[in-house]
Amino acid sequence: MMAPSIHSNDHIDFSGDLQIPDRPFLLGLACSPRMNGNSARLLSSFVYGVEDSGVCTKILLIPNLLFQGCFGCRECEKSGICKLKDDYTQCESLIRAASAIAVATPVYFSGVPGQAKMFIDRAQAAWVQKYILNKNVEASKEGVLMVVGGTGGSQTFLGVELTLKYWFAVFGIELIGKILAKNIDAIGSIESHSTFLKEAEDLGRLLAQKLIAKIGAEDQRR
């Protein structure tokens, strides 16, 4: 069964609700400014696999959030707390509370889109907490990266992968799978590459199985 497109999918909630679910959940971060773009379509298939396996999900469309970029004021170096209070503040709580993280993004000039880069840069305070103040050292959680590139060069994904590698490290996210879809440029062109969509759905099921096993093991230890 093929997952429907993310922009018409009832189980994808882009309402802007930033409340933390009351049960273990996967947090998906959609980085593209286009809700019906190709990376969003990959995320839709991935989420379908996760939810069909019985795991709760919460999806954030980063360009729809209201937040500012890092000003480089260095206030966080004193306490590990960012002085800016906006949507990102609650988003970081969601990141920390999530059992797993999935990031889906297109490649813009060898990196993530501008809104997503602003979001990532706001993790500077979290970086300070972990590496300078030795606070909030995260327990390991699983992560998935899905990237769509319009070209097929050998270094198409290098910038995105490096950026997310270091962002994942800040929050203790272990990359367990990735999909790098080359030569996908026109809107909707991912639909003619069903192998990528199937791979995303299968990766969602794999991650869900890992989460279910992890949650079960934690329940037994309680």
Give phi and psi for 39, each to the nearest 5.
-70, -35
Q: Give every CB contact of residue 191 below 8 A, 6+ residues apart in sequence.
A: 41, 197
Alpha helices in the chain (DSSP H): 38-52, 76-79, 87-97, 114-121, 124-131, 158-170, 194-221
- Against a cut of 0.85, is the pTM above it? yes
Q: Give how far Cα 208 sits from Cα of 48, 171, 222, Å.
A: 11, 20, 21
Give CA–CA dist 159/175, Å, rounded.
16
pLDDT in the model for residue 22: 82
| pLDDT at site 63 | 93
The domain covering 26-65+74-221 belongs, at the CATH homologous superfamily level, to: Flavodoxin domain (3.40.50.360)
Distance CA(59)–CA(70), nearest Å, equals: 23
List Cβ neighbours of 104 (8 Å cut-off, separation of 6 or more).
28, 29, 30, 31, 32, 39, 40, 42, 43, 46, 146, 147, 148
Domain edges within the chain: 26-65+74-221
pLDDT at 219: 67
Those residues with Cβ within 8 angstroms of residue 17's Cβ, 6 or more apart along the chain or in another chain: none
| Alpha-carbon gap, residue 61 to 9, rounded angstroms | 14
How do the pLDDT tens digits run along the chain, 222 residues long? 444 444 334 344 544 578 888 888 999 999 999 988 999 999 999 999 999 999 999 999 999 999 999 999 999 999 999 999 999 999 999 999 999 999 999 999 999 999 999 999 999 999 999 999 988 666 789 999 999 999 988 899 999 999 999 999 999 999 999 999 999 988 888 998 889 999 999 999 999 999 999 877 776 666
Phi-psi region of 104 (alpha: psi -120 to 50; beta: other; left: phi over 0): beta
First to last CA, the chain: 37
pLDDT of residue 205: 96
Phi and psi at residue 70, to the nearest 5°: -65, 135
CA separation for the pair 11, 4 (Å, rounded): 10
